[in-house]
């Protein structure tokens, strides 16, 4: 019973820890006189993907490849179908051209490239994402980050760094340390609990990663999207979702593979195909719908697709 309680508490601690670490790191960046763009692209953009990263680090250390890969694929599917769907129901989402010409193509390329690696069509010719391939994934992200910084327009973020005042040094260090502790204990409790939940419910680690864990670790993106839509600051939603998906594929899975090579199950090609379809659906909805935006009807359609995906994941994984 204790491990199930810690499993639930772990999600809360994990998300709070990520929030504290981001706040402390933003304050540290401001005190170090880093530009708002650099802080936004590094600290803030990574903030919403910290839960996925921490869960995957612990899953990799325990050799739980299915949980690690399922978590990322499930989070990316949820980000596009559910989070964008809910946000566009509240207020239609207008899509910036930078997302169409940069973020959607990079996200699609990252997904396809990961698919080649995972299915053995790259180095090693086996269904294992090895450490060298993990380094390649991180290198691709480094190029994307460099290009974004060079162009001077970063991933849209829900934080006006320019108007933030740094905390005092004791509070800054305290937030960072408490945040790191929250990430450590939350990650440990969630990863251990996820394996026990899978055993208790008689479902696979993959199914738990695709549904329960992915949904919980995507809470920061969901909250950000809802708050932004309610404040009519809808422009940041698409950038946040696409940026988070890119970080999940390239940084989270790249880091996981470096810690411990990830064994890929070919049955996950269905979910991988869903991520590819989600990116293509965005392009189709943007160009075939009512201009460069997602309407409420299109948002409702995305939510229905996500509900079908959850049913499929629980019954066939």
Quickly list H helices, the chain: 2-31, 36-39, 45-47, 50-61, 65-78, 84-90, 97-98, 104-118, 131-151, 169-201, 205-208, 214-217, 219-230, 235-247, 253-259, 269-288, 296-316
Q: Given this model, what pLDDT does residue 272 score?
A: 93
Band of residue 231 on the pLDDT scale cut at 50, 70, 90:
confident
Are the beta carbons of 196 and 61 closer than 8 angstroms? no
- Up-side HSE of residue 186: CA atoms within 13 Å toward CB? 26
What mean pLDDT do residues 265-270 have? 90
What mean pLDDT do residues 20-26 have? 86
Neighbours of 183 (CB within 10 A): 25
Tens of pLDDT, residue by residue over 238-251, are 877 888 899 999 99
Q: What's the gap between Cα 85 and its chain centre? A: 16
Euclidean distance between CA atoms 161 and 280, whole angstroms: 32
Query: How far apart, in Å, are the Cα atoms of 57 and each of 51, 64, 296?
Result: 10, 10, 37
Tens of pLDDT, residue by residue over 59-83, are 999 889 999 999 999 999 999 999 9
In order of their start, the domains of the chain are: 2-316 (1.20.1420.30)
- Higher pLDDT: 93 or 264? It is 264
Q: What's the gap between Cα 133 and its chain centre? A: 20
Q: Given this model, what pLDDT does residue 237 score?
A: 78
Q: Given this model, what pLDDT does residue 158 score?
A: 45
What mean pLDDT do residues 31-35 have? 78
Tens of pLDDT, residue by residue over 171-196, are 999 999 999 999 899 988 998 888 88
Euclidean distance between CA atoms 269 and 204, whole angstroms: 16
Euclidean distance between CA atoms 306 and 79, whole angstroms: 10
Euclidean distance between CA atoms 255 and 11, whole angstroms: 21
Dihedral (CA of 217, 218, 224, 226) sign: negative
Euclidean distance between CA atoms 75 and 152, whole angstroms: 28
Quick check: helix, strand or coil at residue 263?
Answer: strand
Which one of 15-19, 163-167, 173-177, 280-284 scores highest in mean pLDDT? Answer: 173-177
Res 300 pLDDT > 70: yes
Which one of 110-114, 120-124, 145-149, 215-219 scores highest in mean pLDDT? Answer: 110-114
Q: What's phi and psi for 126, nearest 5 deg?
A: -135, 170
- Specify the pairing of strand 262-263 against strand 93-94: unpaired
Res 255 pLDDT > 80: yes
Which one of 18-22, 76-80, 289-293 scores highest in mean pLDDT? Answer: 76-80
Which one of 44-58, 121-135, 171-185 scores highest in mean pLDDT? Answer: 171-185
Residue tagged 């996981």 (tokens): 256
Res 129 pLDDT > 90: yes
Band of residue 133 on the pLDDT scale cut at 50, 70, 90:
very high
Res 156 pLDDT > 60: no
Q: Given this model, what pLDDT does residue 253 score?
A: 96
Res 121 pLDDT > 70: yes
Query: How far apart, in Å, are the Cα atoms of 25 and each of 12, 37, 173, 281?
Result: 20, 14, 9, 36
Q: Given this model, what pLDDT does residue 4 score?
A: 82
Res 228 pLDDT > 80: no
- Up-side HSE of residue 134: CA atoms within 13 Å toward CB? 19
269-307 as b/e: b if 16+ CB within 10 A: eebbebbbbbbebbeebbeeeeeebbbeebbebbbebbe
- Higher pLDDT: 211 or 203? It is 211
120-158 as b/e: b if 16+ CB within 10 A: eebeeeebbbbeebbebbbebbeebbeebeeeeebbbbb
Instruction: Provide the β-strand partners of residue 294.
Output: 93
Quick check: helix, strand or coil at residue 31?
Answer: helix
Res 90 pLDDT > 80: yes
Q: Given this model, what pLDDT does residue 154 score?
A: 45
Q: In what helix (H) or strand (E) does residue 299 lie, and over which residues does it extend?
A: helix 296-316
């Amino acid at each position: 019973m204790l491990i199930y309680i810690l499993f639930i508490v772990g999600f809360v601690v994990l998300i709070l820890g990520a929030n504290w670490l981001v706040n402390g790191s933003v304050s540290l960046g401001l005190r170090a006189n880093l530009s708002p763009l650099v802080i936004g692209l590094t600290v803030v953009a990574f903030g919403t993907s910290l839960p996925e990263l921490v869960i995957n680090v612990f899953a990799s250390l325990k050799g739980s490849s299915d949980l690690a890969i399922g978590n990322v694929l499930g989070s990316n599917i949820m980000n596009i179908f559910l989070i964008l769907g809910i946000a566009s129901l509240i207020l239609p989402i207008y899509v910036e051209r930078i997302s169409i010409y940069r973020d959607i193509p990079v996200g699609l390329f990252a997904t396809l490239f990961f698919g080649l690696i995972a299915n053995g069509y790259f180095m090693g010719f086996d269904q294992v994402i090895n450490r060298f391939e993990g380094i390649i994934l991180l290198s691709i992200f480094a190029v994307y980050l460099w290009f974004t910084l060079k162009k001077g327009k970063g991933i849209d973020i829900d934080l006006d760094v320019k108007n933030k005042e740094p905390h005092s040094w004791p509070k800054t260090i305290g937030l960072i340390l408490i945040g790191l502790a929250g990430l450590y204990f939350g990650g440990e409790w969630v990863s251990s609990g996820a394996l026990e939940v899978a055993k208790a419910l008689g479902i696979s680690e993959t199914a738990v990663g695709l549904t329960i864990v992915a949904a919980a670790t995507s809470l920061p993106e969901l909250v950000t999207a809802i708050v932004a839509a309610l404040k009519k600051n809808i422009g940041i939603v698409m950038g946040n979702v696409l940026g988070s998906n890119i970080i999940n594929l390239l940084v989270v899975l790249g880091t996981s593979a470096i810690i411990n090579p990830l064994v890929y199950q070919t049955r996950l090609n269905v979910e991988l195909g869903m991520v590819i379809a989600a990116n293509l659906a965005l392009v189709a909805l943007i160009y075939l719908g009512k201009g460069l935006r997602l309407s409420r009807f299109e948002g409702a359609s995305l939510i229905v697709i996500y509900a079908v995906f959850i049913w499929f994941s629980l019954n066939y994984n």
